[in-house]
Structures are given as C-alpha cells and as structure tokens.
Structure 1
Amino acid sequence: MTLLDEFVDWYLKDNPVRATLLGAPGFDRTLGDFSEEGFIRRERTAELWLDRLSNADPGPSLDDRIDLELALSYLHGEVLTARWPEWRRAPAPYLDAIFAAMFTPFQQRLSPEPDLVEAAIARLGEVPAVLAACRANLSPDLAAELLVTRGLGQARTGRRFLTETLPAQVADPALRARLAAAAEPAAQAFDELVAFLENFTAGGTWRMGEELYSGLLRERELLGYGAAELHAKGVAEWEALNARMNEVAGKLGFDAWRPAMESLMNDHPPTLEAMRAEYEAETERARRYVRDRDLVTFPAGEHCQVLPSPEFQRPIIAVANYLAPPPLSTAREGVFFVPYTPDDFTEEQVRQRLRTNSRPQMPSIAVHEAYPGHHWHLAHIGESSRRIRKVFRTPYFVEGWGLYVEKLMWEQGYYDTPETELAHLDCRIWRAARIVVDTALHCGEMSIDEAETYMATKASLSPGTAKGEVNRYCAWPTQAPSYLTGAIEIEKIRDEYTGDLKSFHDRIAGSGGLPLGLARKAALG
C-alpha cells in the first residue's frame, strides 16, 4: 500500500458520510464523530498528514506527482480552514451530514432495499447525538446570526423529512414501517434543535476576511493570486459581457440586455412540475447533440435522471444542482435536481422561481448540469484509475467545467436563436457578478443589502433569487467565484492544447476535478 493509499483510507474512515457518497463500502452505518474532540482530532491529524506528505517522494511519473500535489492542496485547505471552524460557527456541518447520509443512499441504491433500511436505522440512532453536539459546539461568540438562521430553515424540515419523505423511499410496507418508527427519536432531536436555534444568540460574523480568503485561493486552489486580483477579474469580465449582451439585445429590438432578459423570462413553464418535465426534455436534447457531434466519450451505462430538488434543500438552494454517481462504485447514474420552491412560498415567489428558469435559459442550465456538464464529467471521472482523484475535487474545476461547456455548446451552435444566446451570456454574466460579490462580501467591502441589489441588477435574478444567492455566498466563501474563474482557466488550457477537441475534453475532464494548476499539468504535461 502506498502512502497516498493510507491517506485516502484515513480520510474515508474519518469522514464516513462522505465515504458513502463516494460509493466506498463499509461506512454506511455511522455518521461519524461530531464531538468537539472529534473535530479537533481531525484538524490535528490533517496537520500531521500535511507534514508527512510534504516530505514524501512523489514517485516517477507526472500522474504520481499530480496525485501527491492534489493531496497536499486538500490538506493545505484543511489547515487553513481550521482557523475558521465552521463547526463552531454554523449548524450546516451537522445538518448537511445527516440529510446527505439519509437521503443519498436511497437515491443511489447501491445496495438491496433491506440493507439500505438497516443502514438508515443505524444512522438514525446517531442523529440525537450529532444534533446534541451541534448544540454543544456552536459558539455564541463565533456563530453568525445569518448562518444560524439558514440552519434553522433546514432544521425545520427535519421532522417531515425523516418521518414522511424518507420512509416513502421504501417500497416494502414492513420495512417502511420499521424505518418510520426508528425515525421518531431523531425527529424529536430535530424538534429540540429547532427550539434551541430559535433562542440562540449569535454574535459572530460570516465574513471570512481577505487573508484567509486569499490563502485558500493560493494554497488550496493553486490559482497564484488572491482576493483582490480575483475581484478585479470579475469586474473586467462583467464589463466585457455587458457590452456583448447589449449587442445581442439589439437583435431583439432592445436598447439594453436587462429589459431584453426581463421580457424573455416571461416565457416560462406554468408550474414547477412542467418546469421539471421541460428540463428533462432539454437534457435529452443536449445529450443527443453532444453525441452527434462527437464532443466527448460517453461512459458505459451513464444515465441522468431529472427530479425535483429534495425538500431539505429547498430552503437553502434556489438554483438547479446535481448529485453525482458515486465514483468509487460502478454506478454511473446521476441526478439533475430542478429547483423546486419550499412549500410555504407564495404564488408570486413560485412565479419568480419559474421566471428564473425560463425557456430561453433552460438550454444553458441543462448543458451545465447534465451534458456535457456535471453529469458527463462526474460519470467520466468514475472511469479513472487514480483513486485519489475520485475522492478529492474542487469546485474551481467542477463548476468551471460546467460553465466552460456552456460556452462550448454556443460555439457548437446549440443556442441557435438570439434569445438562447442572450440567455447563455446571462448565465455567464451572473457568474461574473458572483466573483465581484463574493470577494467584496468576505473582504468587508459590501453589505448584504448591497450584494442583493448588485445581483438583482447586474444579473437577471429576481429579488427573491438574489436574496437566496447572497445568503449562500455568505455561508460558503470562495465557492461562488469558482464557475467563471474555472471556465476561463480551462479555456486558456484548451488554447494551448495541440490535439483535437474530443481528446482535450476526455483528457482534462478525465483527470478528475483538480485544482486548476494541476489540471494544466494533466492536460499539457
């Protein structure tokens, strides 16, 4: 066994929920250790691994060196974020783990239903302890009110999710009844957490600060620049896209792109289910288009479902998202989740969600989430022989790839009207606005109200969607800029690549979801 194999084994053992999502066997009956001692132990062990691997022999090949540098970039990120312990600041680490551990195995179905139920019952038994750890670990001095409120919205969905939604995934009546009964103590623990969070006084901040933000860009993402440079890139990209979009809007009879997009967004599906059905049709159209033009090699057995977003996501995610096939398994089926609204949304809030998923926008979104975007890419990773690259990936490549292929499909003629071209550019300018806002928010240069106004006026987001987006940026620093930043870097690498388009796509996407500096090495040598 190599040192990197030992490192991956440690990671999977100490992160059993993540191991389950990746398809590693043997971890599906525990949620892991969420105590203060558990978090501190993991932080210290990451430091030891960083020291150990920093002095390791990388091996003879380029791939071996890339694998080692991937491990080091992950560990640098862990050591840096230990200064900003989310487990003391927000309920998210606890809630996300529970929801993912309960929901995803039934979505992926890697085991027979009786085994899935037994594993879920075992994990349900640990939910009260995990939520008790959440209550114990949250620090009034560090936790931010925004992050606590965000967690409260998630926690309020817990009882219904565990006692109704989860058992509904089980076909066998006897097993369904067993699961529902086992869920009651966990549901009670969620009720207690809701009461706790409703009365919790948080005095901390969600702003990460420029020093740590820039450190993550340089040491985890291997970008070679910090927050200020990234902010400037976002401003410049927004300005260039703004000029180009105004030109396209002129073809539609408008003086500027904003009123043009407002008009286009009136052409939307009438209901949430109609939106899902139209996304399903668009996803299949994109798949045929990619195959007909031989842009990528399709993995055997891949399939992308198009489903409503699970209810526990709806209070915190306002846009489409994707659940990948577990790369450590042989499964190649993923899920494109269509952004349904929470049950308590008003008719007008639902209409605004439909408007931000209008018919002209659907081609770009389906391309991004499915073909040849996230679904194709993450199914393709499953074919890799490099185990560590199936375990560790960065949004700067994964989301960058999703936005890169949006532009690729424009180059290939997929957006064949001024309306769909403008919507494609709107998806890109929205990502430029994300760079500007995320860096400004976490470096203390923009308030939440200013950020919401910026997103609602510099991109074609409704005020409600802009609010949800900004809330997400506050909770997940450095992620929002990953889309356009990654796309631009991938486009630069393609410009230097000497082979054909299909071989470039297979090579760079097949190398994993590497930090962009490593992706360059993998593609170009």
Structure 2
Amino acid sequence: MTLLDEFVDWYLDQHPVRADLLGADGYDRTLGDFTEEGFARRERASELWLERLEGAVPADLDDRIDHELALSYLRGAVASARWPDWRRDPAPYLGTVFGSLYTPFQQRLRPEAELVKAALSRLAEVPDVLAACRANLDPDLAAELLVTRGLDQARTARRFLTETIPGVVEDPALRARLAEAAEPAAAAFDELADFLAEFKAGGSWRMGEELYSTLLRERELLGYGAAELHEKGKAEWAALDLRMSEVARRLGADDWRAAMESLMDDHPPTLAAMREEYEAETVRARDFVRDHELVTFPDGEECFVLPSPEFQRPILAVASYLAPPPLTPSRTGVFFVPYTPDGFSAEQVRQRLRTNSRAQIPSIAVHETYPGHHWHLAWMAGNPRRVRKVFRTPYFAEGWALYVERMMHEQGYFTTPQTELAHLDCRIFRAARIVVDTALHCGEMTVEEAETFMSTKASLSPGTAKGEVSRYCAWPTQAPSYLTGAIEIENIRADFDGDLRTFHDVLAGSGGLPLGLARMAALGN
C-alpha cells in the first residue's frame, strides 16, 4: 500500500458519511465524531499528513497529479482550520445528518432493509451530534446570519425525519419502525431549534482577504488571490454586459435587463409543471449531445429529474445535482429542480418560477445534466484512480458545467435570441457572483449592497438574490468557482491539440481536479 493509499483510507475513516456517499463499503452505520476533541484530532492529523506527503513527490505524471491533488486538499484543510466552521456555523452538523439519511434512500444502492438498518443506527447518534453542535458553537465566532440559516433548516427536521424519510420506505413494518426511531432525533432537533433561536452570536461570517487568497492559491492552485479575482469578475461582467445589450437589441429592447424581465414572465405555471419542462429539456440536451458526438457516454448512465428535497428548500434557491457515488458501479444521478419551501406565499412561488423561465430552462438543464454535471460526474466515475474519485473541487466541477453552456451555444443548441440572452444571463450572473463573493468576504460590500448588486446586475428577483447572498456568506470562495473554472477550461481547450470530443473525454475523465492539475492532465505537462 502506498502512502497516498494510506492517506485516502484515513480520510474515509475520519469522514464516514462522506465515505458512504462516495460508495465506500462499511461506513453506513455512523455519523462520525463531532466533539471538540474529534475536530481537533482531525486538524492535527491533517497537518501531519501534509508533512508526510510533502516529502515524497512521484516522478510519473499521473502519480504526481494524484499526489498534488491530495496536497491541495490538505493545504486547504490546514488553512481553513484557522477559520473553523464547526465553531461558527450549525451547517456542518445539520448537513451531515440530512445528507446521511436522505441520500442513501435516493440512490437505492442497497436493499431497503439494509438502508433502514443503517438509518436506524444513524438516527440513534443524532442527539449526540446536535449536542456537540450546541457545545461547540462559540458566541464570539458564530455569525448571526449563519445561525439563522441553521435555525431555518433545523425547523424542517421534524417533518423530514418523521414523515419524509419514512415515506420513501415501501415496506410498512420497516416504515413504522423508522418513524418510531425518528422521534428522539426529531426531539433533539426541536431542542436545537430552541437553542439557536436564543443563541447570541457575535462573530462575523467574513473570511477576510488573507485566508480567501490562500485558499485560491493553495487549495484551488490558481495563480492569483482575491483582489485579482475580483477584478477579473468586474472585467467579465463588463464584457458580457456589452454583448447582452447587442442581443437585447435583436429582441427590440434597449436594455438587456428589461428584455430578461420580459422573458421571465414566460414561465411554467406551477412547480410541478416546471419539473416536467426541465425533464423534457434534459432529454433534448442528451439527444443533442449524442447526435453531435460531443462526448462519449458511459455505459448505464441515467439522470432523473426530481423536486429538491424538503430540507434543502430553505437554504438553496437554485437547481442542484446529486452525483452517482463514484466508488460504486452506479452511473445514476439526480437533477433537483428548485422547489420552494411549503410556507412560501403565492408571490414567492411565482418569483421562483420567473427565475426558471422557459428561456432559462435550456441553459440550466445543460449545466446540470448533459453534458454538464451529470455527464461529467458519471464519466469521471470510470477513472480508475481512487484519489480522484474522492477529492474534487467546485472550480473544476462548476467550471465544467458553465463551460459546456458556452460550448453548447457554439454548437447551435441555443437557437433563438431569447435562449441566447438567457444563456448569457447565466454567465453574467456568475460574473456578478465573483464580484460579490470577493467583496463580501474582503469587507468591501454589505449584505444589503450585495443583494442589490445581484438583483440589478443579474436577472434575479429580490427574494432569490437574498437567498443567493446568504449562501455566499456561508460558503466563501465557492460562488466564483463557476466562471473562474469555465475561463480556465476554455484556456486549456485553446492549447489542446485534438478534436472537441477527445478534449471533453480526456479533461472531464481526468477527475474534478484543481485547474492547474487539470491542465497537466489534459496537455501532458
């Protein structure tokens, strides 16, 4: 066993829910150690692994890429320990519980009885995990915005645990057993919600420019920091603004924002109809990609189009994707359509439908399914290198999905000025994300200013802009990954010597690498 194999084994052992969702065997009965001692032990071990791996660099190119991938993860983990999310935010605890219980039933990789047995074991650990959340949150570090997000999510837990999860179990006896076992976990969530409602948070969600830049350079392997990224976002926004104005004039409008506002009025009438239209567009995108021979399809791949899970709806206002677990033979993924929470008003639902208009649906479906996230992650799951199945960065994964939107436009998929404008709107939205995320975390923009920027510089409703900005505050450096990654991939493609299908197969098949390593994998140097 190599040192890198030992590291991957350690990582899976320390992150059992992540290991299970990746498809590793033997990790489905526990949520892991969420105590202060557990977090401290993992942080120290990451430092030691970094020291060990930095001292052994392989000569073979593919081995060196694998090695550098592990190092990039560890450098990011060590840097992030200076800004510990487990002391600042309920999300690490809540996300683990929700994901560990929902995803296995969604993926159905084991018999139902085994899934229920694993869920029962994890449900028994939920009170201890939430007790650790209460013990670990530091009033001087935790931010009110992040605590409020956690509170909103915690309030969905009782229904999720006692109704939603048992409701997906077909066997009546198993369903009843799961519902009964969920009650103590639901009570623990009720207790956590009461705790969070009274919690006095005095910390900040702002990461700061130093750590933000460190993560860009050392974890994402980009050759620049937050300030330069901010300027790149502004430049991209300005260039897209000019191009969109030209397309808007073809639609008879003087201003692209007004044109988009008009286009957004043509939307599916209901959330259910929105899901149906996304499903039809997913089929069309797959047929187009196949007919134009843009990629090679992995055997057995399939993508379902479903409503977003209830626990996601209070914190995520946009479409999302659940990948096939790469450590299994499965190539089945799920495109989640962004439903609103049950308590939303008719006007809030209408605004969500407007930001999923018929002009926008083609770009979003391409991004999430073919040849975006679903095709990429189903294809890369066939890569034999385990470390590349375990570690990937959104700067590649999200960059790839935005790259293919532009590529599909080049290939003739967006055939009307309406869909072209919506395609460009998706891209300028990502440029605005770069500007806002860097400005927020470097202390140059308030939440209110960011919400205004996103609702005026991109075609987001005020409600959607509010949800977006909340996400940026909670997840620093992620929002810029889309356009930053797309531009880097476009640059790699310009230097690639080969046809388009080969480029896509080689680059996407190399994994979800930091972009510097992706360039090495595609170009061989």
Which residue of structure 2 aligns with residue 316 of structure 1? 315
Which residue of structure 2 aligns with residue 302 of structure 1? 301
Distance 1:323 1:341 in 2: 18
The Cα shift of 1:250 comes to 0.3
Q: Secondary structure at the match of 2:234?
A: helix
The reply to whether residue 6 of structure 1 matches residue 16 of structure 2 is: no
Which residue of structure 2 aligns with residue 97 of structure 1? 96
The Cα shift of 1:174 comes to 0.3
Q: Secondary structure at the match of 2:26?
A: coil
Which residue of structure 2 aligns with residue 47 of structure 1? 47
Which residue of structure 2 aligns with residue 22 of structure 1? 22
The Cα shift of 1:83 comes to 0.1
Q: Secondary structure at the match of 1:304?
A: strand
Distance 2:379 2:168 in 1: 28
Question: Is there any run of 5+ residues in structure 2 with no aligned partner, and where?
Answer: none
Distance 1:237 1:125 in 2: 50
Distance 2:433 2:516 in 1: 22
Which residue of structure 2 aligns with residue 518 of structure 1? 517
Distance 1:382 1:210 in 2: 35
Within a 5 Å distance, the mapping from 1:351-366 to structure 2 comes to 351-366=350-365
The Cα shift of 1:57 comes to 3.6
Which residue of structure 2 aligns with residue 270 of structure 1? 269
Which residue of structure 1 aligns with residue 464 of structure 2? 465
Which residue of structure 1 aligns with residue 481 of structure 2? 482
The reply to whether residue 77 of structure 1 matches residue 76 of structure 2 is: yes
Q: Secondary structure at the match of 2:312?
A: coil
Distance 2:450 2:6 in 1: 44
CA offsets 1:15-47 (integer angstroms, 9 cap, x no match): 000001100010000000000000000000000
Root mean square deviation of aligned Cα: 0.4
Counterpart of 2:221, as a letter, is L
Distance 2:348 2:496 in 1: 46
| TM-score (normalised: structure 2) | 1.00
Distance 2:109 2:431 in 1: 38
Distance 2:194 2:274 in 1: 35
Within a 5 Å distance, the mapping from 1:111-510 to structure 2 comes to 111-510=110-509
Distance 2:50 2:108 in 1: 35
Distance 1:100 1:11 in 2: 18
Distance 1:110 1:15 in 2: 19
CA offsets 1:486-523 (integer angstroms, 9 cap, x no match): 00000000000011000000000000000000000000
The Cα shift of 1:256 comes to 1.1
The Cα shift of 1:61 comes to 1.6
Distance 1:499 1:2 in 2: 34
The Cα shift of 1:467 comes to 0.2
Distance 1:378 1:169 in 2: 25
Distance 2:152 2:298 in 1: 38
Question: Is there any run of 5+ residues in structure 1 with no aligned partner, and where?
Answer: none
The Cα shift of 1:262 comes to 0.2
The Cα shift of 1:125 comes to 0.3
Counterpart of 2:121, as a letter, is A
Q: Secondary structure at the match of 2:336?
A: strand
Distance 2:358 2:433 in 1: 23
Q: Secondary structure at the match of 2:311?
A: coil
| TM-score (normalised: structure 1) | 1.00
Counterpart of 2:433, as a letter, is R
Counterpart of 1:432, as a letter, is A
